[in-house]
Structures are given as C-alpha cells and as structure tokens.
Structure 1
Amino acid sequence: MAELWMPGAIKEDLGNSAACDPAFPAKAIAHITADVKATAAAPRDLVPFTTLKRFFTGSGKRLAPHILWDPFSGSFAQFFPATSRSLALLDGPGGTRTNRAGKVVIQIEALFFPHCRVDGRVFASLSETPCKDWSKLNAWVRSWGVTDHWPMDHPDGFTAHRSASVWQSQGGWYAHAHVPENDHVDPGSWPMFVDGHQPGAGPEKPPIGTPEQEPFPGASFFHAGRKSPVIAAMHRRLVAEDCNRYQAGADADVWGSGDVKSFAAWQHKLGFSGGEADGIPGKSSWDRLHVPNV
C-alpha cells in the first residue's frame, strides 16, 4: 500500500493540506531549487540542505513542494502528504488548478542550481550529480500511480514547452517547464527512471540520438521531393500512431503533402495548434514520435 509520507524522509508537516482532483491522472513535477545564480566562470557553493528545509518550513511555506531532495547526500524532507496539493507551482485564477490536477500531483524540488560547487567539484546539470537515492524517490512516486513516462519529453535543457490539453489528459512526470500557467524553465535535466516500472507504464524511451532512435534532422530536411529512409521510418510511425492521412500508393520514402497532413495530425494529437501544428516536424514533436534509427 502506498504511504502518505515517504519512508526515510524527514517529516515536516506544514499542516496546510488540501485535496487534489482525482478527475485528472496522477502526476509528479520535477523542479530544482535554483536558489543561487552561478556561471561556469563563477561557480557557487551549494546551499546546505538544512537551509532550504528551514526556508520551506518558515518564510517559504507558501512555495513549499511535497519533497525536498538532496541529490548529493540522499536526504529528503517532506512537507505535505502525498494526497494533498503542495504549493510549488503558479496557479492562476481559472484554467486548470495546477497544484491539484491529478489523483496526486507530487512535486519534488531537487537541491541544485547550475554550476553549483560541492567538495571542490562543479556540476553544470542535475544529471551529473550522484542523484543519490533517486531509486527510492522514483519507487515511492510510482507507488502512487505516477507512471514512468514524460508526456512532454524528458527534460533536456532549460527550455519551456507547454500544452494545457496534454497536461490535463496525460499522467506521468512533468518538468516545471511543462506546466501550464507557469513561466519557469527548470529542471534542465533529470535522472532516468530505474528498473521496476509500474505495470502498463511501458519502458522508458531511449535517450534521443541513441542508435535506437533517429535524431531530429532539422526542419529544413523536410521539403517537397526529399527522398530518404528516414521519411519512410517516420511514415510508419505516423501510421502506427493512428495519424495516417496518406493517399493510397504514396511513396513512403518521399516527403509530400500526405506527410504534411499526417504530421499535422500527430502535432494536434500532442496538443499543438495553430502555427505549431503546420505539419513540419519540430524537434519536440519529432522526438516524441520516436522514429527508429535507420
């Protein structure tokens, strides 16, 4: 049975609990504390775990997540039970209630900022850290029905990409940079899921650009008459995703109007609209199609 309080975490119950909305699928949100500004030329020492814990139980109560995680020591502090909303997301009037839109909406703040210094070593991204006891955190979040899946892609850089329709309809893990009504671009990176996936969740997709997956060739690659086995592989994936808008007999390896219509259907399926669903692949929509390497 899933536990309201993560085993091994320091319990710092803020007492300000409020119910989540089970009409939406279970979610987890990945943040970094980003409490200090540093650069490669001017790194800064990591802020102590106890300092951030004191902040979230004091003057920062209104911003508290569920979990504060120190990826260097494996320390955890928890401020709300799993079934309560926490407060680390902007939640504007109207629209989706970002802190509550799920059976659970478990928010994790990793104690990290880019170019932090720990024991004399500088870390540019969270994924470079030891990510100590990430497996315990991953397992506890999974126990609450949060699937090992990134509907808006695994975080890879400090860029924002948001879709309210995807957020409302799909469970799993989201970066802060993926959440509607928010303007943050963290966490920049996040560790890969560990073995032991929830039944039905499916395996974690291989990282983009590995031999198993065709890297994005750039938007200029897709022009009328382009012939390539990459286009044929894309064609097959679009058909498999029920986005087949091709005419019978179309050359599967030649880019044409059927590809534009079919890829636009895929973009709409992902929640894009307007100019973002023009049928020309962009990096995000391409990466999420998982075209096999040819």
Structure 2
Amino acid sequence: MAKTGPQRYPGASTTYWYQSAWGGDSMESNVIVWHTTEGTSLPSYSGGAQAPNFTAVPDFKNKRLLWYQHFDFDTSARALVNRPGGVETNTLNVCQVELVGTCDPSTHKKWGSTPHLYTSELPDWVIRDLAAFVKWAHDQHGVPLTSAVTFKAYPGSYGSNGVRMTAAKWNSFTGHCGHQHVPENDHGDPGLFPMGAILDHAKGASTPTTPHQQGEDSDMPTTLGLYSTTDRPLVPGKWTTLTVEKTDIVTGANAYTASVMLTVDGAPAGGTLQGRFYHQRTDGSRWDSGIVERPTTAGSSFVDFPHAGSIAATEKLRFEVAYFPATSGDEKSVTITTSRVRGLYWK
C-alpha cells in the first residue's frame, strides 16, 4: 500500500530510527494509540523490537516535548501485543505514541520530587505540544479529532477493564484511544489521560498550536562525539563509571540524547552487560536512569546503550557499566577495548 502525506513529524529526531532494522507494514493510519513508558527517559525498546512510531520526552526546563521518531507515520510499529488468530493490532492502520511518564499513582508517589510526567496531572505545556501533534496528524493524514472511548485511571484500567474494545469495535474504530482500549492487550496505560483537553486544544478551543522544532529558541544542538581505545577491565558484578576521553559526558546542558557503544573482549557467550546513565549532583546524590541489558556473544561483544533526557545546570551526565557472567562463580574480568559516545545536546 502506498503511503500518502508527510511521513516525518516536523522537528522530530530520528536518532533512534528502527524502521531499517524492523521494517513494518505500509498502511494509511487513521488511529492513534497513546501509551506511557512508565519511566523518566527514552527507552531502548529492546533495540526497536517493541518500539512505537513516536516517543515524546519532556524537557522540563524549557517546558516543551522533544519528539523522537522510530518509524514512518504510516508504517506499523511494534508496541502492541498481537495474538495469533485474533484481530490485527500493530498493523491495523495504527500510529503509536509513547509519552515518557507514568499513569500509575503509586509510581508517581514513589518518584516524588524527581521531575516526571503523571498523566492524571499533565501540565498545560504538555497538553499544548501533544495537541500540536494531534492537529498535524489530522491535517496531514486525516486522523479524526475524535475519541469515542473512556480513559480510566490506573490500576482500574488494567486487564479486563470495561473499556477495552471488542474485536468488531476495534476493527471499525478511528480516532484516538489508549493502550487500555486495544483488544488482545492487558496494559492499562495511559491511565486517566486528558484526551478531551488535547482534542479541544487541537480543534482551536485554546491557543492554536504548531509543531515545535527541536532546538528552536534554544540554539542549534551541539554534537557529542567521544572515542577511546584505552583498555578498561570490568570486574564481574561491579558497576564501573566509564571514562571516554572524560568522565562527565555532558555538563551545563538542559536536554540531550546520547548512545554509548562498547566493544568488550573476553566475555563468554550468554553473559550480560548492563549499562545506565546517571546525573551526578553537587551534593553527592545522583539520579539513575533505567538499566539497559545487552547479551555477550562469542568472540567480541558489540553493545550499545541509548538514552535521552534533561539535566539541571549543576548536574553532570555520566555512564556506568557492569558485567555479569553466564556461569555462577566466574570471577574472571573482561575488557572494554573500544568506547564511543555519540549524540546531541542543547544548552
């Protein structure tokens, strides 16, 4: 099927583009399914195996969303369950959007003062930027500015929740819904999502919106490129902060996207390399991103750890890695032989 209309959302970064590796079916999308990542940073999506079409990451300092595009608008993504013998989900004219944040009130409480989005209490600037995307999808692709479903608060939205569509309703549905509404799925995100307010904003009931160009009003991004061939041993089970030319990958930035790529020698197949970014604060405390896991392979292991987020002016972005052998009791160290960091950051 031919795809019509512009396939890239204006201003969206394609740094984490998965269509080349994971393909997808061409279609004419007339449904948008909304998700929450249940995290505070851009997920790795298992290297794209579970990725949506778009991810919206909050930039709290500048009060805007940073958009990342992983597939064309009219190419099927991979964030929904699709069981054999039932309806189609990912491939049924569906564009999928993940919002970095949570719909779970217990998670919201646990995160406390850590900057994050909670869908039951989205700030106006998030509604504004989501509405800009909704309006673009309507104007360029004809996605209706409608949502004939009820968004329930989590955890009541999980599983058989009373709002999940039947196969027949799903097959004929157009407009906007959430993961909680899709048949063959049990997730309850995005919870009590303010779909009505977003649609009203997109229709012009509020101040008109336009897509925000990433980097607009905050200068052009600075390219991040670090490289090291210094051997670095990894002791099993111990986290090691990595130095790639320098320890502090980014300082004084407000938004960034970065990938650490490592070549590791001496690790038998079946082991695990874990990596995470963290924000080091001046008082000695730190904020940790989610852990990304990569398997070790026979010979050299080539692994990557992507991340995106925002930091305070006084924080320093760092990365640490840990090695866990396949065999219990194996205490032999492995060696990082090559380290690379690639990305962009905005001052």
Q: TM-score, normalised by structure 1?
A: 0.54
Residue 193 of structure 2 is aligned to residue 181 of structure 1:
no
Q: Is the 1:151–1:166 contact (alpha carbons within 8 Å) kept by the matching residues of 2? A: no
Q: Cα gap change, 1:170/1:120 in structure 2, threshold over 3 Å: closer, same or farther?
A: closer
Residue 163 of structure 2 is aligned to residue 166 of structure 1:
no
2:24 maps to which of 9, 18, 22: 18
Q: Structure 2 stretches of 5 or more lacking a match?
A: 206-347
Higher helix share: 1
Q: Is the 2:73–2:95 contact (alpha carbons within 8 Å) kept by the matching residues of 1? A: yes
Deviations 1:7-49 (A, max 9, x none): 1110132112322455xx71000100014xxxxxxxxxxx234
- Aligned residue pairs total 177
Counterpart in 1 of 2:122? 128
Counterpart in 2 of 1:69? 56
Q: Cα gap change, 1:4/1:91 in structure 2, threshold over 3 Å: closer, same or farther?
A: same
Residue 96 of structure 2 is aligned to residue 107 of structure 1:
yes
- Matches of 2:12 and 2:112, distance apart in 1: 22
Q: Report the CA distance between 1:83 and its aligned residue.
A: 1.1
Counterpart in 2 of 1:276? none
Residue 186 of structure 2 is aligned to residue 190 of structure 1:
no
- Give the SS at the match of 1:34: coil
Q: Which amino acid aligns with 2:134?
A: N
Deviations 1:187-212 (A, max 9, x none): 013232144549xxxx9xxxxxxxxx
Q: Report the CA distance between 1:96 and its aligned residue.
A: 1.4
Counterpart in 1 of 2:285? none
Q: Cα gap change, 1:66/1:126 in structure 2, threshold over 3 Å: closer, same or farther?
A: farther
Deviates more, 1:130-139 or 1:88-97: 130-139
Q: Is the 1:138–1:194 contact (alpha carbons within 8 Å) kept by the matching residues of 2? A: no
Counterpart in 2 of 1:255? none
- Give the SS at the match of 1:10: coil
Q: TM-score, normalised by structure 2?
A: 0.46
Deviations 1:62-87 (A, max 9, x none): 11000101244410100000111000
Counterpart in 2 of 1:34? 38
Q: Report the CA distance between 1:118 and its aligned residue.
A: 7.9
What root-mean-square deviation, in Å, do the aligned CA atoms of Structure 1 and Structure 2 show? 2.7
Q: Structure 1 stretches of 5 or more lacking a match?
A: 36-46, 204-294
Higher strand share: 2
Q: Which amino acid aligns with 2:145?
A: D
Residue 86 of structure 2 is aligned to residue 95 of structure 1:
yes
Identity across aligned pairs (percent)?
25
- Matches of 2:88 and 2:135, distance apart in 1: 26
- Matches of 2:55 and 2:117, distance apart in 1: 19
- Matches of 2:137 and 2:112, distance apart in 1: 27
Q: Cα gap change, 1:177/1:20 in structure 2, threshold over 3 Å: closer, same or farther?
A: farther
